[in-house]
Chain A
Amino acid sequence: MSEQLVECLRDLPNYLGWHMLLSVSALAVGLAFSVPLGIAVSRRPKLAELTQGVAGVIQTVPSLALLVLMVPLLGGRTGFWPAFVALILYSILPILANTVIGLRGVDPVLIEAGQGLGMNDRELLRKVQLPLAAPVIIGGVRTATVLVVGTATLVTPVGGTSLGNYIFGGLETSDYVATVFGCVLAAVLAIVMDQLVRLFELAAKNRNRRLAWIGAAGLLVILAAGLYGPISGLVSPPPEYVAGAPFTEQHIRTEVMKEKLRSAGFAVEQRKGMGEGVQFLALRGNQIDCCINYTGNIWAVLMKEKESAERQVLYEKVSRFLRERYGVICLGKLGFQNAYALAMNSKRAEELLGSDRRQWTVSRLAEQTRRRSVSVSGDLQFFRRLEWRQLRDRYALRFREKKEADPTLMYGAVRDGEVDVIVAYTSDGRIERYGLVLLEDDLRVLPSYDAILLVSGKAAAKPGFIDALKPLVRDGGAINDATMQEANRQVDVEGKSPRRVGLELLQAIEARHKESGGR
């Protein structure tokens, strides 16, 4: 079996368990809420219109955005709860709409018959309206089931655990085995749950109670299996949470931190693929214990500083800011930078900027952008960041076309000449591999982006926690830019697992320490 598949299977009980728990519980709550609401509004056409309108609006919010919005709405909570609430909201419309349609579709003659025979409203509902509307309502539940199981794969960026972790983790590290593994499992789960719900439909149609019991039992089994995650959390002491943002380097470095903490006797749980913003919220709120961030990132995004500063000064200011403002401890630098830089393939650079490599600067590029048609591509957030506005205004960059792309795709695009310039991450292994050149930021507009190890206030107080991680930042960090780039390349280009590369990196760090300690 391939190394990647073995990695996947290791996480299966946890990911699948949480996915099942999340889906079944969100559906159950959605059902318990939507059917009574549907009943209540079905007799008042105007109110029904209004509620369905509101539910419809919720449905039009892209699922990922709804998930991310739940984090601030729940006071910065990350993980299970925002995911749970968002999925409940998502399940409402199909069930609500079908309840209203189903109840309205009941033949008025039968309602009159029920009333004429002396049923009160409740008896009429229970004995006539609901049974007759049941197939339509269950149809809505089936739609909601497929929707919720599918959307549950998107909870990863808000720190939830689900099969989506395979998909996101796989996309971020170019591990397509994991991505396909996650997709297939999610699809299978959706089909199984849909068929279980369908049993209720068949039970109603064929007046067969046994089918309904089988369906209920099946769903209960899924719910029970889903309790694996939380129960294993109860049995063992609460783990330390290490989070990694959604890109290769973070996956590798997370493995390194996990290993260090494990060997110091901590039970470690990893939150993969959280968005950077969510990750920091979770750190502030003590929901995760440690993560890696970058000085320039904090500088521009949180401190909103416009002017760059000398590297060491910037580090110290960031460090102080984090401690004073959020109680987050900056343990130290890991040794490498992951800065933003403009990158081109060398052939195109020669065409645009001339053969003299000393001329390959952002200023020179800016001149060209004002004369010729030059296109640029950056990740999904860069063009909204302060750094971009600074860069554009200070150099007077006039790109003809600005494309936002997934970082994974951007490097290939610039290599193949589909785009002239990309906003690259300096530690990315593909820069060297694809023969890309970085343009010099000759006006020193961009800040430095030293990788720093951050620890939550709560975790810093745990005995031994900081000591376990300290070696990673000793003497300003043992991993330089080239080493990190090489490690990233091994994952992104060679397809090694982040775990394996991380362990090798840790060995390198320890060897370095032994060397320097011995000297």
Chain B
Amino acid sequence: MIVLEQVSKKYDAGHLAVCEVSLRVPAGQLLVLLGGSGCGKTTTLKMINRLVEPTSGRIEVDGRDVRSVDPVQLRRGIGYVLQGSALFPHMTVAENIAVVPRLLNWPAERIEKRVDELLRLVHLPPDEYRGRMPQQLSGGQQQRVGFARALAAGPKVMLLDEPFGALDPVTRDELRNEFLQIRRQLGLTAVMVTHDMTEALLSADLIAVMNAGRLLRLGTPRELLTRPGDDFVAALMSSPKRQADQVEALVAEQGNGEPL
């Protein structure tokens, strides 16, 4: 379980990036932080693993105040996936996945076994991909390795910062479905940042809508769709529907123009 209580982040310049955000992610659920650029969603995410230190408020992961834990130890227990995978270009696929197990001083055979296991989990045949360099992989393959790297030490909690942001739409759908399946299979508690409404609706157990550093609305996708309770949220929620309608209209128009 992840709990945020009255969390704020104020930068030195006086800019209030996050303002008194409180939310709760029950164990095994996926919360999506949704909002436009600069709304504070990424800052909120990074405060959970202390890449950013909150100015005030309290954050708990699995019942422990994160401030009571050494940040390095804390992060080793939390999977972290970045946009565009951020694989280390000077390491092979296997070495990238083995980063955290190595930091934890696992024995070599255990690391090797774990790497193969994870490569199979993300549908990359180990024999083929183990020794490749990141530059030799497609964007989608790189992000699969990024997931495997985040999962290496078997974390119970995962943080994802726009993990599908840099991918083409087909790969994105495919990878998202696989990720959701893996997440359910492993029972992970996760927080994911996105600005893509459709993605949020299709992935989340809970959606937290943010704007200008504040949490506007927190609820299940269904709740937010049916009772947005706020004009901004309403506009946001209706956008996938609106887009779908436009696409439909386009199909109908072309159907009329072209003889079958």
Interface locus among B19-27, B28-36, B86-94, B136-144 = B86-94
Partner of A118, one of B72, B88, B89, B159: B72
Partner of B99, one of A117, A131, A204: A117
Assess the B82–A116 pair: CB atoms within 8 A. Answer: yes
Assess the A116–B88 pair: CB atoms within 8 A. Answer: no
- Taking CB as reference atom, which chain A residue is nearest B92? A207
Partner of A113, one of B72, B74, B77, B82: B82
- Taking CB as reference atom, which chain B residue is nearest A120? B72
| CB under 8 Å from chain A, chain B span 58-117 | 72-77, 80, 82, 84, 86-90, 99-100, 103
Which residues of chain A are within 8 angstroms of B90 by Cβ–Cβ distance?
131-132, 204, 207
| CB under 8 Å from chain B, chain A span 126-143 | 127-128, 131-132
A313 contacts chain B at the CB level, 8 A cutoff: no
- Taking CB as reference atom, which chain B residue is nearest A116? B80
- Tell me the minimal C-beta distance from B95 to chain A in angstroms: 9
B149 contacts chain A at the CB level, 8 A cutoff: yes
**Is the interface on chain A under 10, 10 to 19, 20 to 34, or 35 or more residues?**
10 to 19
Assess the A112–B82 pair: CB atoms within 8 A. Answer: yes
Measured CA separation A261–B17 after assembly (Å): 84
Which residues of chain B are within 8 angstroms of A131 by Cβ–Cβ distance?
90
Assess the B86–A110 pair: CB atoms within 8 A. Answer: yes
- Taking CB as reference atom, which chain B residue is nearest A207? B90
Measured CA separation A204–B159 after assembly (Å): 32
- Tell me the minimal C-beta distance from A254 to chain B in angstroms: 56
Assess the A115–B86 pair: CB atoms within 8 A. Answer: no
Assess the B51–A117 pair: CB atoms within 8 A. Answer: no
Assess the A132–B89 pair: CB atoms within 8 A. Answer: yes
Measured CA separation A112–B80 after assembly (Å): 10
Which residues of chain A are within 8 angstroms of B77 by Cβ–Cβ distance?
118
- Taking CB as reference atom, which chain B residue is nearest A204? B90
Which residues of chain A are within 8 angstroms of B150 by Cβ–Cβ distance?
117
- Taking CB as reference atom, which chain A residue is nearest B49? A116
Which residues of chain A are within 8 angstroms of B76 by Cβ–Cβ distance?
117-118
Measured CA separation A123–B102 after assembly (Å): 11
Measured CA separation A120–B71 after assembly (Å): 9
- Tell me the minimal C-beta distance from B63 to chain A in angstroms: 20
A227 contacts chain B at the CB level, 8 A cutoff: no
Assess the B103–A116 pair: CB atoms within 8 A. Answer: no
Which residues of chain A are within 8 angstroms of B75 by Cβ–Cβ distance?
115-118
Which residues of chain B are within 8 angstroms of A114 by Cβ–Cβ distance?
88, 99
- Taking CB as reference atom, which chain B residue is nearest A109? B86
Measured CA separation A349–B90 after assembly (Å): 76
Assess the B72–A116 pair: CB atoms within 8 A. Answer: no
Q: Which among B75, B76, B159 has the greatest number of chain A C-beta atoms within 10 A?
A: B75
Assess the B103–A109 pair: CB atoms within 8 A. Answer: no
Measured CA separation A132–B149 after assembly (Å): 19
Q: Which among A116, A119, A128, A132 has the greatest number of chain B C-beta atoms within 10 A?
A: A116
Q: Mark A86-128, 1 if CB is under 8 A from B, else 0.
A: 0000000000000000000000011011111111100100011
Assess the A117–B103 pair: CB atoms within 8 A. Answer: yes
Measured CA separation A128–B91 after assembly (Å): 9
Measured CA separation A52–B80 after assembly (Å): 37
Assess the A115–B51 pair: CB atoms within 8 A. Answer: yes
Known: A110-B86, A113-B80, A113-B86. A118 touches B51 (CB 8 A): no
Measured CA separation A207–B49 after assembly (Å): 33
Known: A128-B88, A132-B90. A118 touches B100 (CB 8 A): yes
Q: Which among B51, B80, B86 has the greatest number of chain A C-beta atoms within 10 A?
A: B86
- Taking CB as reference atom, which chain B residue is nearest A111? B86
Partner of A123, one of B82, B84, B103: B103
Measured CA separation A116–B100 after assembly (Å): 10
Assess the A119–B103 pair: CB atoms within 8 A. Answer: yes
- Tell me the minimal C-beta distance from A132 to chain B in angstroms: 6
Q: Which among B72, B149, B150 has the greatest number of chain A C-beta atoms within 10 A?
A: B72
Assess the B80–A117 pair: CB atoms within 8 A. Answer: yes
- Taking CB as reference atom, which chain B residue is nearest A121? B72
Which residues of chain B are within 8 angstroms of A119 by Cβ–Cβ distance?
72, 99, 103
- Tell me the minimal C-beta distance from B39 to chain A in angstroms: 19
Known: A117-B99, A127-B99. A112 touches B86 (CB 8 A): yes
Which residues of chain B are within 8 angstroms of A109 by Cβ–Cβ distance?
82, 84, 86
Measured CA separation A112–B87 after assembly (Å): 11
Measured CA separation A492–B213 after assembly (Å): 85
- Tell me the minimal C-beta distance from B206 to chain A in angstroms: 22
Which residues of chain A are within 8 angstroms of B88 by Cβ–Cβ distance?
110, 113-114, 127-128, 132
- Tell me the minimal C-beta distance from A45 to chain B in angstroms: 15
Measured CA separation A99–B32 after assembly (Å): 41
- Taking CB as reference atom, which chain B residue is nearest A128? B88
Assess the A118–B82 pair: CB atoms within 8 A. Answer: no
- Taking CB as reference atom, which chain A residue is nearest B84? A109
Known: A112-B51, A132-B89. A118 touches B103 (CB 8 A): yes
| CB under 8 Å from chain A, chain B span 138-176 | 149-150, 159
Q: Mark A489-500, 1 if CB is under 8 A from B, else 0.
A: 000000000000
Measured CA separation A209–B231 after assembly (Å): 61
- Tell me the minimal C-beta distance from A109 to chain B in angstroms: 5
Measured CA separation A387–B89 after assembly (Å): 68
Which residues of chain B are within 8 angstroms of A110 by Cβ–Cβ distance?
86, 88-89
Measured CA separation A200–B203 after assembly (Å): 47
Measured CA separation A117–B85 after assembly (Å): 12
- Tell me the minimal C-beta distance from A106 to chain B in angstroms: 10
Assess the A116–B73 pair: CB atoms within 8 A. Answer: no
- Tell me the minimal C-beta distance from B2 to chain A in angstroms: 16
Q: Mark A191-214, 1 if CB is under 8 A from B, else 0.
A: 000000000000010010000000
- Taking CB as reference atom, which chain B residue is nearest A205? B90
Measured CA separation A387–B259 after assembly (Å): 110
Measured CA separation A482–B75 after assembly (Å): 88
- Tell me the minimal C-beta distance from B22 to chain A in angstroms: 24
- Tell me the minimal C-beta distance from B130 to chain A in angstroms: 14
Which residues of chain A are within 8 angstroms of B100 by Cβ–Cβ distance?
117-118
Which residues of chain B are within 8 angstroms of A113 by Cβ–Cβ distance?
80, 82, 86-88
- Tell me the minimal C-beta distance from A40 to chain B in angstroms: 21
Which residues of chain A are within 8 angstroms of B99 by Cβ–Cβ distance?
114, 117, 119, 127
Using A116-B75, A204-B90 as known contacts, list a sample of 4 further A-B pairs with CB atoms less than 8 Å apart, ordered by residue number in A. Answer: A113-B80, A118-B75, A118-B76, A207-B90
Can you list 26 A-B contacts (CB < 8 A)? A109-B82, A109-B86, A110-B86, A110-B88, A112-B82, A113-B82, A114-B88, A114-B99, A115-B51, A115-B75, A117-B75, A117-B76, A117-B99, A117-B103, A117-B149, A117-B150, A118-B74, A118-B100, A118-B103, A120-B72, A123-B103, A127-B88, A127-B99, A132-B88, A132-B89, A132-B90
Which residues of A are interface residues toward B (Cβ below 8 A)?
109-110, 112-120, 123, 127-128, 131-132, 204, 207
Closest 3 pairs (CB-CB, A-B): A118-B76, A116-B80, A118-B75
